[in-house]
Structure 1
């Protein structure tokens, strides 16, 4: 398959075409990848990593949050000290930049649906209707049994909050974490806070798709059915497939399906907003709008 970038049009012209597609579409299907949250300020390395994980970085020589998330800690108490911080700042704290709010303001008057591999809950916090969201890869806000013994998930906010506070952090009214002066955070949590499955007693794990233990619970299947019904309802009509910062870790979930559905529907438009990776197949060239720019900048101009 051959790809291309939009090089023959300048950014204002491309944004004008995208605005026209938004206004004329019968429905908008948003496909969102990790780069959307990166544009909103949810970075996993650098200053933000050092602010909350400098102790773990010094002890284990981590360079980013992902590395710490996969480390085989010797105790569950230390594992959950790391993961509770990770979950809190990436799920319960607000994103530093209003990118998701800008996106919501752009599409809220349209009939829309969101398909995303992101697990940070930013869409709902920005105002998107939860019945129009399908989080295919899980949610930082959910536990599941590590075995798993049953197809259930469990909200984790209350327990994660206790873990954070047990490490010495103060949680401000807006969810921001702060350390009191001269306090060094603990790198473990009390054993009684280690989450265990209420059904079988096994340790809990995160409801994140990493291997074949991922739990697709009732809510996951309901969201999948809603997405399928949305596609059926608008089959053959003017659909804008709005792909935002989707990379090549899991292209079959969003990118390849958007290409396939655009090719099958001559009334559809495919828009790819991705800084550095804005491509479309030659087969749907005339139906495509590819903008190689930071998403936050594009939304601001829109």
Structure 2
């Protein structure tokens, strides 16, 4: 454990840049719990909790209020408590100490805007924030609006009993009402933030970049999987995750990863001081390279799943692209995708990709060029999914070719499901499973 802490410190010191990723776990550590139904909810929202039977802050943000005044009363109370009066605490101070002047960027799904309020300048809020407004009539065309001062004025007038509908914010371009720019039909990504993130990744993706993950659950796919893919595709990169009781480190990056199953505060103390009695995971020992005979067997096994394939280096550092051809007599049988990958149609007949996900759902994706037949040119299949691919019946070409992008330092091993277990988990697809299961 002590060695893991020292190793994590070394990775931080040696990094050319740090990508900080954060989700609800970080907000909760700061005292903001979107899901809690407790006395603090009443402290923030007052009589509105009982009036509308609001279950949580998240429920309050999504509630369909009968009038706009109460909607904005809720928004203003939340903003006043968590934004206007926000003072960065120890966690933010420790994070700045850990970053220690290195180039860094924050990628977060939190909507509280706290990283910006704490003085961090480089960030991407992928789900917006509750301090920014978006036009309800022209959300894409008109600019986002900073509502910090407006929400404070609404709060003060509400407290004084003088709030009227004329005080509610409107779009400066067209006069339409504004909505909070948080997930929903009107949500608009801040393109300045997106551009900043793209520039950061492009600059450092093939250098010594360290991903520092804060409070992101193992099933969070919005940020967690792409950031792990970034690490998997760059042999110089490292990954440190902090999430008490729930760590998810795939084998492909295990030797360059350390997990702290602790509070963020405890892990920060350890990273700063170099000591701590914490439960850690990793780094794992690198997997031994296969012998020539094992490599031959592995190659033969690969042909059962990708009958005819070639592998080329991709456009990005650390990326490989497999071009595989399948035909009606040679489908790609069921196997697990150990790491998320992009699958693209190249040419030939359309392809059906059968997907069995970890949460017990089956769906299929049709790859092709005919949108009228619900075909798509490409899609991203998530890690842990069992997939199989086959060409459409009645195809004119007689074969299909697709490309699959994956990190170049993956083990290449294939995980094959047991037919009885898969049929038990997906009883409605029994015939499909039996047809596409590899015959061993």
TM over 0.5: yes
Contact 2:132/2:144 (8 A) holds in 1: yes
**Which is richer in helix?**
1
1:37 aligns with 2:27: yes
Q: Which residue of 226, 230, 235 maps to 2:200?
A: 230
Q: Which residue of 192, 202, 206 maps to 2:176?
A: 202
- CA separation of 1:226/1:96 partners in 2, compared to 1, >3 Å: closer, same or farther? closer
Structure 1 gaps of 5+ residues are 1-9, 170-185
SS of equivalent residue, structure 1 residue 277: coil
2:61 match: 69
**Which is richer in strand?**
2
Tell me the C-alpha RMSD between the 2 structures.
Answer: 2.1
1:189 match: 163
2:158 match: 167
Output the CA distance in 2 between the equivalents of 1:251 and 1:142: 25
SS of equivalent residue, structure 1 residue 251: coil
Q: Which residue of 239, 251, 258 maps to 2:221?
A: 251
Residue 189 (structure 1) shift: 3.4
TM-score calculated relative to the size of structure 2: 0.57
Q: Which residue of 28, 52, 56 maps to 2:18?
A: 28
SS of equivalent residue, structure 1 residue 168: helix
How many residues matched?
268
1:221 aligns with 2:191: yes
- CA separation of 1:166/1:248 partners in 2, compared to 1, >3 Å: closer, same or farther? farther
- CA separation of 1:39/1:267 partners in 2, compared to 1, >3 Å: closer, same or farther? same
Q: Which runs of 4+ in 1 moved over 4 A?
A: none
1:78 aligns with 2:70: yes
Larger radius of gyration: 2
Q: Over residues 181-205 of structure 1, what are the superposed CA-to-partner deviations in whole Å (9 max), with x where a residue is unaligned?
A: xxxxx6x931111222233332210
Output the CA distance in 2 between the equivalents of 1:22 and 1:267: 12
- CA separation of 1:15/1:210 partners in 2, compared to 1, >3 Å: closer, same or farther? farther
Contact 2:218/2:247 (8 A) holds in 1: no
1:143 aligns with 2:143: no
Structure 2 gaps of 5+ residues are 273-440
1:271 match: 240
1:49 match: 41
Output the CA distance in 2 between the equivalents of 1:95 and 1:272: 25
Q: Which residue of 151, 154, 163 maps to 2:145?
A: 154
TM-score calculated relative to the size of structure 1: 0.82
1:18 aligns with 2:8: yes
Q: Which residue of 209, 214, 217 maps to 1:239?
A: 209
- CA separation of 1:59/1:249 partners in 2, compared to 1, >3 Å: closer, same or farther? farther
Output the CA distance in 2 between the equivalents of 1:272 and 1:257: 14
SS of equivalent residue, structure 1 residue 272: strand
Contact 1:113/1:230 (8 A) holds in 2: yes
Output the CA distance in 2 between the equivalents of 1:80 and 1:108: 39
Q: Over residues 101-158 of structure 1, what are the superposed CA-to-partner deviations in whole Å (9 max), with x where a residue is unaligned?
A: 2101210321211111122222233232x2x222222122211112335231111122
Q: Which structure has more RCO (C-alpha within 8 Å, separation ≥ 6)?
A: 1
